[in-house]
Each structure stands twice: as C-alpha cells, then as structure tokens.
C-alpha cells in the first residue's frame, strides 16, 4: 500500500507485518517502552521509503509528529479494513463469533469516521487560513 507523509511529503510503501517479524521485534525489545515498540512495529511494515528499500529509526527521527500519527492512523485503518473483510467471508457462526464480527465492523467504522473528521478539520483550517502543517 502507498502512503505519503503529510508534512514531509515523502512517499512510502508498506504492507502488513508477518507474525514472525512482530514476535522478533517484541521479543528483542522487551525492556523498551511500549511507545517505542509501536514505532518499531510501524517501521517494520515499511517496504519502500522514498528511493530506499527500507526505512529505519534514523529516518523516522526526521519525521514531524503529525507524520508519525498519520501513518499510524493509516495502518490502523487499512488493517481494520482487511480484518473486517476477512471476518465477513467466514459467514454466520456462533453468537460469540457474530459478536466479534460486529465489534470488528464497529472498530472499522470508528476509524473511518475519525479519518473523515480529520480531513474535515484539515479543510476547515486551510479555509480559515491557518496551515496546521507549517513548521514554526
């Protein structure tokens, strides 16, 4: 999947993280803060960064906080969409499975709603003349 960092304007490609890679990162960073672990897990999803074949922590240190948040939101949204599509293919199941499917669908709808509100807010700020992406 492609994504452009909103502040830096840098393009990247990313994909879902394999279970083994997730486990490797978590086990190698057991004593690392959860916040840094989540950043490392985001970085591991990046398959192409600009003209480079990978992205590392040094690259992310140059990102604006808004870039990091926007990429994290994108990953959450796309992975929830993927999860909801997979659950929908399972068909009717047990009451517990149906409840899990409903919860996944609700989480996806919530993420989509949040993304839409973020876009509306960005448009409103731009119309108001305030550039939220400008560095001071």
Say what the pLDDT of residue 29 is: 87
Q: How far apart are CA 43 and CA 128, in angstroms?
A: 34
Say what the pLDDT of residue 50 is: 93
Say what the pLDDT of residue 81 is: 85
Cβ–Cβ under 8 Å, residues 47 and 15: yes
Instruction: State pTM to two decimals.
Output: 0.69
Could you give the residue ranges of the DSSP H alpha helices within 2-129?
19-28, 34-45, 57-60, 65-89, 95-127
Say what the pLDDT of residue 104 is: 79
Say what the pLDDT of residue 130 is: 56
**pLDDT mean values, one per 10 residues, the chain (136 residues):** 94 95 90 88 96 94 93 90 77 76 81 80 74 55
Q: How far is CA 105 from CA 17, 92, 109, 130, in A?
A: 21, 14, 6, 35
């Amino acid at each position: 999947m492609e994504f452009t960092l909103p502040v830096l304007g840098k393009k990247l490609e990313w994909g879902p993280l394999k279970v083994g890679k997730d486990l490797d990162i978590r086990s190698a960073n057991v004593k690392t803060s959860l916040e840094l672990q989540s950043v490392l897990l985001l970085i591991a999803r990046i398959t192409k960064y600009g003209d480079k074949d990978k992205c590392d922590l040094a690259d992310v240190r140059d990102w604006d906080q808004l870039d990091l948040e926007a990429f994290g939101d994108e990953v959450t949204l796309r992975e929830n969409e993927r999860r909801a599509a997979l659950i929908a293919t399972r068909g009717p199941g047990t009451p517990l499975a149906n409840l899990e499917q409903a919860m996944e669908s609700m989480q996806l709808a919530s993420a989509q709603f949040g993304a839409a509100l973020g876009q509306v807010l960005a448009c409103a700020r731009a119309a108001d003349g305030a550039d939220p992406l400008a560095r001071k």
